[in-house]
């Protein structure tokens, strides 16, 4: 008997996870090429007999020199797995796709008080990386290694020979600080944050104020 799934999960599988599986998992990550990772996927097959048959066919695929290309090997292995799981219904295949692609939350971040809830531009205490916003339309191209660290930003600002301490409390402090930041590797993230969040928020507040004023509400 197939376990029913929530409609939101059904739509996530049909419209997002399954169509993007080949591109992200098989092509970009070549997940089934790496022995340890491939074994982890194979272990998700519930039936032990089916798992053994898939394993044997995977070994033959790995031994073929003409499939040196990682994507080709990953795709061939996945098709083998799908063909074996097809006779048992789609449930196990769906479980594997969900396990590999569906977003997961770190419960400790919300449960434990000593965890840092990531707000834009806060700094991770261990890595020193700055928490930066990303464009959801291009999130698959987000490069974690390119994210600025506090040390790199301090070095970049030091090279500008700007001593912000001398401007403390002056009218130029905020202006100079913004200019300094926009001459560092943080620029693209600040620009994105302003364009995608701050300006739309400011516009929304203005519209609400205007509407309340028109309605005679003076509380704003």
| pTM of the entire predicted model | 0.57
81: tokens are: 């797995």
pLDDT at 102 over 70: yes
Mean pLDDT of 172-179: 72
Tell me how many domains the chain contains: 2
The answer to whether residues 12 and 95 belong to one domain is yes
DSSP code at position 151: H
Residue 97 lies in a domain: yes
In a domain, 170, yes or no: yes
* The last residue of a domain, from among 101, 119, 138: 101
For 151, the domain range is 111-214
202 has pLDDT over 80 = yes
| Percent above pLDDT 70 for the chain | 85
Measured CA to CA, the distance from residue 8 to residue 23 in angstroms comes to 22
> What does the DSSP 8-state code read for residue 144?
G
**Which of these three, 75, 101, 127, is where a domain ends?**
101
Is the separation of the CB atoms in 54 and 42 below 8 Å?
yes
Asked if 205 and 125 sit in the same domain, the reply is yes
At 1 the pLDDT is 47
Rg (CA), the chain: 25
Residues 73-95 have pLDDT tens digits of: 899 999 999 999 987 777 899 99
Residues 51 and 133 in one domain: no
């Amino acid at each position: 008997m197939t376990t029913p799934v929530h409609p939101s999960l059904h739509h996530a599988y049909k419209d997002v996870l399954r169509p993007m599986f080949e591109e992200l998992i098989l092509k970009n990550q070549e997940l089934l090429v790496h022995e340890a990772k491939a074994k982890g996927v194979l272990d998700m097959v519930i039936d032990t007999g089916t798992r053994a048959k898939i394993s044997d066919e995977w070994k033959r695929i790995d031994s073929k020199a003409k499939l040196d290309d990682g994507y080709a090997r990953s795709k061939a292995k996945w098709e083998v797995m799908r063909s074996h799981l097809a006779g048992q219904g789609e449930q196990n295949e769906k479980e594997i796709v969900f396990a590999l692609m569906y977003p997961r939350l770190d419960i400790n971040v919300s449960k434990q008080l000593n965890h840092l809830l990531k707000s834009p531009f806060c700094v991770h205490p261990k890595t020193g990386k700055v928490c930066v916003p990303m464009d959801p339309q291009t999130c698959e191209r987000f490069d974690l290694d390119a994210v600025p660290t506090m040390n790199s930003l301090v070095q970049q600002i030091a090279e500008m020979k700007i001593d912000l301490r001398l401007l403390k409390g002056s009218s130029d402090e905020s202006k100079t600080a913004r200019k300094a930041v926009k001459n560092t590797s943080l620029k693209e993230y600040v620009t994105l944050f302003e364009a995608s969040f701050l300006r739309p928020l400011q516009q929304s507040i203005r519209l609400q104020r205007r509407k309340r004023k028109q309605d005679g509400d003076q509380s704003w």
